[in-house]
Structure 1
């Protein structure tokens, strides 16, 4: 079974995403902060969703650390953000994120990304 990791410090956002992903045949890994995301990533998920704003480190910082590891160089990493500022989008791209998902997350946008990155 394919693994997908979601890291979001907002419990409600995390639960909403989990509910949206129940229709997919995946094993879901979750994290509530950047450090937990790094630990869960050791299970080698095939797709990672990172909230941009987390208390201990940003999603971009987590992505940057993951990209330094050989096992995550090609893992698709998607930013989840409620902001759309140019500086935040730039930080996501520079960290090596593959795409951005905006909050509130639409089921259609999530499905598109799942199809695109978990072919």
Structure 2
């Protein structure tokens, strides 16, 4: 399966996502903030990143933009997983380079489906 990085400052959400994707057969690493997320991504070059938007310090949008400026992450899929649900938020995330957008609270089955679809594309 895939190597997945979860970047979320909420330990409960990060653990839920880790569990859901691990059960689906993925190898999952967790980073607790944007700076650690970039470091973990640079070290492992994951196939997919599940990225929270609202984190202290560096936001998920900033992480997404930073990674997308590095051509070595061109094949890495990024899903924003956030409570922000306005159409303008979705547009901003897509503009930053996110491949998909999932709103919290989320259904684990839906997240698994979206991850599978992105990895298959």
- Alignment TM-score, normalising by the size of structure 1: 0.92
Unaligned runs of 5+ in 1: none
Q: How does 1:1-119 map to 2 (within 5 A)?
A: 2-42=2-42, 43-119=44-120
CA distance in 1, matches of 2:39, 2:21: 21
Deviations 1:66-88 (A, max 9, x none): 00111112311010111202332
How many equivalent pairs are there?
Answer: 119
Runs of at least 4 residues of structure 1 off by over 3 A? none
CA contact (8 A) 2:50 2:78 kept: yes
Task: Tell which deviates more after alignment, 19-28 or 74-83.
Answer: 19-28
Unaligned runs of 5+ in 2: none
CA distance in 2, matches of 1:34, 1:25: 25
Secondary structure (helix, strand or coil) at the match of 1:118 reads: helix
Task: Tell which deviates more after alignment, 39-48 or 99-108.
Answer: 99-108
Secondary structure (helix, strand or coil) at the match of 2:21 reads: helix
